[in-house]
Amino acid sequence: MSRVGKQIIEIPSSVTVNMDGNVISVKGPKGELTRTLRDEVTIKIEDGKITSEPRRNDKFSRSLWGTYMSIIKAMIEGVQNPFVKKLIVEGVGFKWELNGSQLKMSLGFSHPVLLEIPKSVEVVANKGELTVTGIDKEEVTLFAMQVRKQKRTEPYKGKGIRYSDEIIRRKEGKKSA
């Protein structure tokens, strides 16, 4: 049994949740999110609470049970207060800047790296810090991961892109005799 799926989600007064067939829409003060769900899980909205249970007792339905409840919980949380991911760049000559709807990064390659910023995500680039904000948790996390993937932090000098709360274990370099 799914511990996450069994949990009852309380709907705050400033948020409205509607279920139309397999499409769930969540509307709040910061915006609106919609998502199409598969029919393996039955979702009930009544008296300001959301409950769910799997339709069949197979492995796939049970795995989606907890996943869907987690997604709905993130949607409700996102329309109230946006999700934020902060990234830090370290290294000589490593920098980023906004070019319209693109993020231009200089990461020590022979060419600048360009990434298209999704419409639902807001990006603020400071000197060594990049802040990614949005109401959709999946979009914010996906874009932050794509930026980080361009130049992961290496363990010897600590150069590269990392999350602000990420701890990089530093390795000892070559010892001289």
CATH of the domain at 47: 3.90.930.12
pLDDT surpassing 80 at residue 70: yes
Question: What are the tens digits of pLDDT across the range 101-113?
Answer: 999 999 999 999 9
Q: In terms of residue numbers, what domain contains 135?
A: 83-163
In a domain, 133, yes or no: yes
CA angle 23, 101, 97 (to 5 degrees): 130
| Residue 11 to residue 50: CA distance in whole angstroms | 7
**CA-to-CA distance for 165 and 95, rounded, in angstroms?**
19
95 and 65 in a common domain:
no
For 61-82, letters b (16+ CB in 10 Å) and e give bbebbbebbbbbbbbbbbbeeb
Provide CB contacts within 8 A for 57, sequence distance 6+: none
C-alpha 82/C-alpha 29 separation (Å) is: 10
CA dist., res. 113 & res. 147, Å (int): 10
- 84 residue type, one letter: V
Mean pLDDT of the region 120-139: 94
Assess if residue 168 is contained within a domain: no
Residue 173 lies in a domain: no
Between CA 113 and CA 109 the distance in angstroms is 8
Last residue of a domain, one of 58, 80, 102: 80
Statement to judge: residues 74 and 95 lie in one domain: no
* Residues 95, 72 share a domain: no
Over 80: is that where the pLDDT of 54 sits? yes
Q: Based on the fold, state whether residues 76 and 88 are members of the same structural domain.
A: no
* Sequence-distant (≥ 6) Cβ neighbours of residue 112 within 8 angstroms: 104, 105, 106
pLDDT at 61: 87
* 172 located within any domain: no
177 inside domain: no
49 shares its domain with 96: no
Is residue 89 located within the same domain as residue 158? yes
Closest CA to 55 of 37, 71, 73, 70: 37
For residue 164, the model assigns a pLDDT of 93
Instruction: Report the domain count for the chain.
Output: 2
Confidence band for 2, pLDDT divided at 50, 70 and 90: low
pLDDT higher than 70, residue 47 = yes
Domain ends where: 80, 107, 138? 80
> Contact at 8 Å (CB) between 77 and 134?
no
